Amino acid sequence: MIIRLEGVEKSFGTQKVLNGIDLSIPEGRTTVIVGASGQGKSVLIKHMLGLLRADCGRVLVNGLDIAAMNKKQLKETRTKFGVLFQGAALFDSITVFDNVALPLRERTHMTKIQIRKKVLEKLSLLDLDGVDQKYPAQLSGGMKKRVGLARALVLEPRIVFLDEPTTGLDVKRSQEIYRLFHRTQAQFGYTAVIVSHDAPKIFKLADYIALIADKKIQGCLSPEDFQLSDNPYIKAFVEETMGSIYISGTDRS
């Protein structure tokens, strides 16, 4: 397991958001975390990234507790991460090229020519040829997400986190993001953690699906097992998102 969460609890003021989260993310696979809005999916991903600290419990990345890491260890761990944020989080005062080049300039000793080659290569991989001199404000929502994905992938990370990668996009653009994700994962073989509410479409990409409900992970199962699970929360989620055809054998009888 490349990431493991053990009994993670988190509250904001008096509001408890996570209450004893246990979850394992297997290496080289795609784990999709689903759940209704406001269930703490983004909060959960921020714990894995070390942006939030759990009130209780541990988040282990490669066996090391992320909250106990020193600055150097945290930096080393994060060099293996690539993140696509919900709103893409592009730096709006610099161009698309500079956005994608930023991790290369700050974290590697590559020359300007090498950086240019790498950035253009990644932009091309994500069908973004010719937009490198544009500013984020001049791009559509789908293009911003693709630039965000290009930036997340530019250092060829081992783990890629995608927080609601298709939020605000129409069906066509969402399919495009999924297609590009599939293409890049096949090429680089990274572990993917996707937070999404785009069920059932997202199930096609998933090796494992985890449902967060009632502040807990209700199960982390393969898509087939997930659809046939007897857990009441999972059953309700499947019925809600896929219709009553996908219910467990016990119920059908």
Which of residues 159 and 238 has its CB atom nearest to another protein in the complex? 159
Which of residues 136 and 228 has its CB atom nearest to another protein in the complex? 136
Among residues 92, 211, 124, the alpha carbon closest in space to that of 102 is found at 92
Buried b vs exposed e over 236-248: b needs ≥16 C-beta within 10 Å?
ebbeebeeeeebe
Residues binding another protein: what is the number (CB under 8 A)?
24
* Helix residue ranges per DSSP H, 154-201: 171-188
Strands 216-221 and 56-61: unpaired
| CB contact at 8 A, 196 and 165 | yes
Interaction pattern, residues 99-138, with another protein; x per rule: CB under 8 A: ---xx--xx-------------------------------
**Would you count residue 89 as binding another protein (CB under 8 A)?**
yes
Rounded to an integer, what distance in angstroms lies between the CA atom of residue 88 and that of residue 97? 15
Among 5, 31, 81, 181, binds another protein (CB under 8 A): 81
Rounded to an integer, what distance in angstroms lies between the CA atom of residue 67 and that of residue 21? 16
Among 4, 41, 47, 78, binds another protein (CB under 8 A): 78
Instruction: Kindly state the tokens that stand for 42.
Output: 């983004």
CB of 135 to another protein, least distance (A): 14
φ, ψ for residue 60, nearest 5 deg: -105, 125
Among 17, 54, 59, 90, binds another protein (CB under 8 A): 90
Stretch that binds another protein, among 84-92, 120-128, 168-176, 194-202 (CB under 8 A): 84-92
**Would you count residue 51 as binding another protein (CB under 8 A)?**
yes
**Would you count residue 86 as binding another protein (CB under 8 A)?**
yes
The residue ranges that bind another protein (CB under 8 A) are: 46, 49-51, 74-76, 78-79, 81, 83, 85-87, 89-92, 102-103, 106-107, 151, 161
